[in-house]
Amino acid sequence: MIRLALPIYVELLTAVVAVGVIDLLWVSGLGEAAIAAVTVGTTAEYLAYGLFLAVPTGVTVLVGRRDGHAPLGPVIRAGWVLWAVFSVAVAVPGVLLREPLAALFTDSPALTADFFLISLGGLPVYFAQTVVDGVLKGLGDTRRPMRHAIICNVLVVVLDPLFIYGLGMGVQGAALATVIARALTLAVALASVTRLRDAAGGPVTDGPVADEPVAGGPVAGGPVAGGPARGDRGRVAGEVIGTGLPMSGDFLARALVGMALVEIVAGFGTAAVAGYGIGQKIMLAGVMVFYALRQAAMIRTARSEAVRSPLALGLGAGVVIAIVLNVPAAPVAGLFTGDPAVAVEFLRWMTLYLVPFGGLIAVGGVLQASGRGSRLLAATLAGFAVQLPLAYGLSAWLGITGVWLSMAAGATISLTGALVVLASLSPSGASERRAGGPGRAPAPAPRSTRTAADPPSGP
């Protein structure tokens, strides 16, 4: 689990955190308006990714379930069809409505609209990269996606100053540099998939040939030779969305709750909002560990491989991250502000939040791959339903500390609900899940050989 999760952590840290930070650092010399434009632009892109997240997540889980037992082609083709649909549905309106969209976030929307023109127009490239990485992760390979994220960041570091200052494009240069870096990275990723196909002796999208017996019984989703029937293509696409949709719901729900908490914290003044924002950015580096564990648990569960105890691993990671963040809290927060008191207090209280949150996110990987994603989302929403009223009530009584306590309470309630769902996974239910649901092929035999995409053995 840890060996699988480490590359995912590096990937998340670079792909989710670093690109936005690099752009901000390079445009900081252009003034506050440029900084605000990039901040709003990257936030909107983050939310757009949340809408699309269902596709790469569903692809990862279904590829993991089918690998070695059923054709992967129908799932991968469905992923690309959904990529095309989401790219048009999100990017086109975003570009056409960039000016009113920018006006929602800032009083000076011109720069932000300029950034949106390129960043939202380049979303299909970003989405395509996540589909490719989703396929690789489903095959048990988390190292190639990590390398892709590192390549992208190196390219952004090089291209940003060239386009922002060398070509005088300003904030549009930052957006264009990122899109070009992602396009070049996508080319590298597609080439790596081609090499993987050649090493496997045939197309990665192929399943067992028509005259080969399929492990565990008949292949669900149509005939092996020639792919699924036309009616089954829609079913596979629906299965991809249905599998990944709870992950998108979780992502977007957390974003909305985060916005609501900012509004509550704003009642305590600008210094409180700044401290909360700084504390969140520092904590994000630690929280990525939990999401790496979730993806590792999801991949291994989908592939019917041992997961050990994700709860213990998540809780233990929560304890470690809380300690790591608290020890240097004051000096690290001091790098961002001359008055780090609020940020430091936030990180101190987050110890009560990080431990149950780590357990919740790690367990979520098992539930997501087990077909219990909707129940996991229900448990998460139940925690938020308690957290928000508590945040309002406790903040009126205890001040800003009440907001921090409400976060811990919400995470604990969500974890409790997730554990109830986890307990419902009986051995027979687990077998049914690995087969893809009632009425489908029985659970495949455990994998005894590694695929070409499996990470190599080693310490």
219 shares its domain with 172: yes
Structural domain contains residue 68:
yes
Structural domain contains residue 185:
yes
127 shares its domain with 274: no
pLDDT at residue number 285: 84
How is 141-188 classified by DSSP, letter by letter?
Answer: --HHHHHHHHHHHHHHHHHHHIIIIIS--THHHHHHHHHHHHHHHHHH
132 shares its domain with 35: yes
- Single-letter amino acid, residue 408: A
User: Among candidates 52, 55, 78, 305, which has minimal Cα distance to 205?
Assistant: 78
- Domain boundary pick from 184, 212, 245: 245
371 shares its domain with 225: no
307 shares its domain with 224: no
User: Among candidates 377, 376, 369, 375, which has minimal Cα distance to 435?
Assistant: 369
User: Looking at the 3D structure of the chain, how many domains does it have?
Assistant: 2
241 shares its domain with 271: no
CB 405 within 8 A of CB 397: no
317 shares its domain with 168: no
Structural domain contains residue 458:
no
Cβ burial of 77 (10 Å; 0-12, 13-18, 19+) is middle
226 shares its domain with 301: no
Structural domain contains residue 118:
yes
CB atoms within 10 A of CB 248: 21
State pLDDT tens for residues 172-210: 888 899 999 999 999 999 887 777 665 554 445 444 333
CB atoms within 10 A of CB 451: 15
Please give the C-alpha separations between residue 191 and each of 81, 154, 195, in angstroms, as whole numbers. Answer: 20, 18, 6
Q: Can you give the residue range of the structural domain that contains 36?
A: 1-245
Cβ burial of 166 (10 Å; 0-12, 13-18, 19+) is exposed
231 shares its domain with 278: no
240 shares its domain with 368: no
233 shares its domain with 337: no
Structural domain contains residue 259:
no
Residues of the chain with pLDDT under 50: 201-203, 205-228, 428-459
163 shares its domain with 66: yes
Structural domain contains residue 262:
no
Give residue 307's Cα distance to chain centre.
20
Q: Write out the H or E segment, with its range, that includes residue 391.
A: helix 373-398
Structural domain contains residue 308:
yes
Structural domain contains residue 258:
no
State pLDDT tens for residues 413-454: 999 999 999 988 755 444 434 434 433 333 444 443 333 333
